[in-house]
Amino acid sequence: MSIEVGEKAPIFTLPADGGETISLEDYKGKKVVVYFYPKDSTPGCTTEAKDFSSLITEFEAADTIVLGMSKDSVRRHDNFIAKQDLKVRLVSDESGKTIEDYGVWVQKKLYGREYMGIERATFLIDEKGIVRQVWHKVKVKGHAEAVLAAAQAL
């Protein structure tokens, strides 16, 4: 079951790049974009992370934090950030609890094979912790720009 617009965003406290721990509650009073993606260093995920990174100054100007989340380890996140020169924070949910809380651990199909995986999805959360916009089954091209426009309009 996915989180819907108008609902309170599930709170999480998880390890992030650089060995820090990040909690959604750390950002009360700011807008937060949480984008979920399948795996570090894959083509679509790399493009998405680079697109968000290229707009980080505009997100900051809109008082918006951008957090990417996958099941990858902090070490993989650190390597991904260094290799791609990313400007976004990456959060590690190795247990998958937060991914499930947001409803983005879903059944997927590839070449007729069914398996469970992370749906590429993005949540825009307002300063009070309420979900204001949700994008499911994200197509990477133009997505970061659409999220930025929504954050600026909030």
Give the CB-side neighbour count of residue 124, counting CA atoms within 13 A.
20
Domain encompassing residue 80: 13-153
Residue 8 maps to a domain = no
List 45, 67, 138, 144, catalytic entry: 45
What DSSP character marks residue 9?
P
CA distance 71 to 5: 24
Residue 124 maps to a domain = yes
Place 20 in a pLDDT band, splitting at 50, 70 and 90.
very high
pLDDT tops 80 at residue 81: yes
- Pairing outcome for strands 89-92 and 64-70: parallel
User: Residue 83 catalytic?
Assistant: no
Residue 22 maps to a domain = yes
User: Cα-flanking dihedrals φ and ψ of residue 6, to 5°?
Assistant: 95, -15
149 contacts: CB under 8 Å, gap ≥ 6: none
**The domain that contains 69 carries what CATH number?**
3.40.30.10
Residue 123 maps to a domain = yes
Residue 1 maps to a domain = no
Residue 95 maps to a domain = yes
What is the tens place of the pLDDT at every residue in 90-136?
A: 999 999 999 999 999 999 888 888 989 999 999 999 999 999 999 99
- Pairing outcome for strands 31-36 and 64-70: parallel
Overall domain count for the chain: 1
